[in-house]
Structure 1
Amino acid sequence: MPFSPMPERLDTERFVLTPEEPSDVPWLAELFTARGAGPVTHDAAWQRMAAMHELTRRHGIGVYVLRPRDGTAPVGYVGLVVGRCTVEEPELAYELLPAAHGRGYATEAARVVLDAVLATGRDRVWATVRESNAASLRVLAKLGGFEVRRVTTDEHGRVLWHVREQDARAGSR
Structure 2
Amino acid sequence: MSVGAAPDSEVVLETHRLLLRPFRVADAVVLRELWTERDPRVPPHRRISADGRPTVAELADAIRTDQLSSIGLFAVERKTSHDVIGYCGLVDGWRGAAGEPELAFELLRRVWGRGYATEASLAVVEWARSCGYERLWATVWDWNTASRRVLAKAGFTETERREVNAVHGTNLFTTRRL
Superposition TM-score, scaled by structure 2 size: 0.79
Establish whether residue 45 from structure 1 lines up as the match of residue 59 from structure 2.
Answer: yes
- Is 1:63 equivalent to 2:77 in the alignment? no
2:173 is aligned to 161
CA apart distance, 1:50: 4.6
Q: Percent identity?
A: 38
Match of 1:34 among 33, 37, 53: 37
Query: How large is the RMSD of aligned CA atoms in angstroms?
Result: 2.2
The one-letter amino acid paired with 1:98 is R
Q: Which residue of 1 aligns with 2:161?
A: 150
Quote the Cα distance in structure 2 between the aligned partners of 1:117 and 1:130: 23
CA distance in 2, matches of 1:107, 1:115: 12
Q: Which amino acid in the other structure matches residue 41 of structure 1?
A: T
Cα–Cα, structure 1 residues 29 and 54, in superposed 2: closer, same or farther, change >3 Å? closer
Q: In structure 2, what is the Cα distance between the partners aligned to 1:101 and 1:23?
A: 22
What residue in structure 2 maps to residue 169 of structure 1? none
Structure 1, unpaired ranges of 5+: 1-6, 167-173
Return the structure number with greater strand share: 2
Q: Shift of residue 147 of structure 1?
A: 3.3
136-145 or 104-113: bigger deviation: 136-145
Q: Give distance in 1, aligned partners of 2:64 and 2:136.
A: 24
CA distance in 2, matches of 1:55, 1:94: 13
Residue 138 of structure 1 aligns with which residue? 149
Q: What CA deviation, in whole Å up to 9, does each residue of 1:68-126 have, x standing for no partner?
A: 11134111111011264366111100000110111100000100101111221111100
Q: 1:89 to 1:158 in 2, by over 3 A?
A: same
Contact 2:93 2:99 in 1 (8 A): no
Q: Which runs of 5+ in 2 are unaligned?
A: 1-9, 41-46
Trace 1:1-173 onto structure 2 (pairs within 5 A).
Answer: 8-35=11-38, 36=40, 37-38=47-48, 39=52, 40-50=54-64, 53-54=66-67, 59=70, 61-82=71-92, 84-85=94-95, 88-154=99-165, 155-166=167-178
Distance in 1 of aligned mates of 2:68 and 2:105: 16
